[in-house]
C-alpha cells in the first residue's frame, strides 16, 4: 500500500470515530450517529475528488465506506463506556491523526493532478477539515474550524510544507510522510498548549 492508501485508511477510521462520538454526545439515534460518522469520514475526500474533477473514491469502491463503518462501530462501543468523550484525549488524538492523514492525501492528489502551490495547500486544507465542517453543519453548529483554536492552520502549513519539499526535489512519498508528521505535531502541540489564532 502506498502513502495515499495508508493515510486514507488512517483518516477514514479516525474521523469516523470522531464524527460518531460527536453524534452520540448530541444524543442522536443510532442512524444519526452512523450518518454523522460516515459523513465526517468521507466528506473531505469526496470534496477533494470533486475539486479535481474525479469521481470520488468512496463511490468507486466499497473500501472507504467499509472502513468508515468500522470506525462507527468502534465509536458505538466506546460511547457505551462513557459520556461526553468529544473533548477527551481518546477523541482529540484520533482527530489529530485524521487531520494529518487527510491533509496528506489532499496534498498528494493535488500534486498528482499538477495543481499549483495554492491548489496543493487548498486541497490539503479542504480534505483535512471538510468532514468536520460537514458534521458541524449537520449538527447546526458554526463550523469549529472557523471559530476555534489552531486546527485548519495545521493542515494549511502541512500542505505548504509538502509543496516546498517537492519543489526542492524531495520525492512525493517522502514529502507526504513529512507533511503528515508536521500536521500531527502542530495539532498535538496546539492541543497541549491551547494555541489559538488571534481574533480581529
The H or E element containing residue 39 is helix 30-51
| Residue 189 within a domain | yes
For 103-117, write each residue's pLDDT tens digit.
999 999 999 999 999
Res. 134 pLDDT band, cuts 50 70 90: very high
CA 195 to mean position of chain CA atoms: 19
* Residue-level pLDDT at 79: 84
Q: Among residues of the chain, what percentage have pLDDT more than 90?
A: 69
Range of the domain at 132: 3-193
* Residue-level pLDDT at 195: 87
For 135-178, write each residue's pLDDT tens digit.
999 999 988 888 766 899 999 999 999 999 999 999 999 999 99
| Residue 199 within a domain | no
| Residue 198 within a domain | no
Average pLDDT, the chain: 91
| Residue 184 within a domain | yes
| Residue 200 within a domain | no
- Structural domains counted in the chain: 1
Res. 131 pLDDT band, cuts 50 70 90: very high
Q: With CA atoms as reference, report the closest residue to 16 among 85, 73, 62.
A: 73
pLDDT above 70: residue 93: yes
179, 124 contact by CB (below 8 A): yes
| Residue 107 within a domain | yes
| Residue 109 within a domain | yes
Q: Residue 123: which residues within 8 A CB-CB, separation 6 or more?
A: 48, 51, 52, 106, 107, 109, 110, 115, 159
Amino acid at each position: 500500500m502506498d502513502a495515499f492508501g495508508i493515510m486514507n485508511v488512517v483518516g477514514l477510521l479516525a474521523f469516523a470515530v470522531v464524527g460518531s462520538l460527536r453524534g452520540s454526545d448530541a444524543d442522536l439515534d443510532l442512524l444519526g450517529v452512523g450518518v454523522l460518522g460516515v459523513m465526517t469520514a468521507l466528506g473531505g475526500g469526496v470534496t477533494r475528488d470533486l475539486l479535481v474533477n474525479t469521481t470520488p473514491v468512496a463511490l468507486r469502491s466499497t473500501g472507504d465506506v467499509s472502513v468508515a463503518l468500522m470506525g462507527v462501530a468502534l465509536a458505538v462501543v466506546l460511547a457505551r463506556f462513557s459520556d461526553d468523550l468529544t473533548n477527551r484525549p481518546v477523541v482529540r488524538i484520533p482527530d489529530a491523526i485524521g487531520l494529518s492523514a487527510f491533509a496528506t492525501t489532499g496534498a498528494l492528489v493535488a500534486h498528482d493532478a499538477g495543481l499549483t502551490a495554492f491548489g496543493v495547500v487548498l486541497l490539503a486544507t479542504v480534505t483535512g477539515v471538510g468532514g468536520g465542517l460537514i458534521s458541524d453543519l449537520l449538527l447546526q453548529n458554526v463550523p469549529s474550524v472557523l471559530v476555534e483554536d489552531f486546527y485548519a492552520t495545521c493542515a494549511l502549513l502541512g500542505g505548504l510544507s509538502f509543496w516546498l519539499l517537492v519543489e526542492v526535489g524531495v520525492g512525493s512519498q517522502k514529502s507526504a510522510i513529512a507533511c503528515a508528521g508536521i500536521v500531527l505535531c502542530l495539532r498535538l502541540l496546539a492541543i497541549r498548549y491551547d494555541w489559538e489564532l488571534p481574533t480581529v
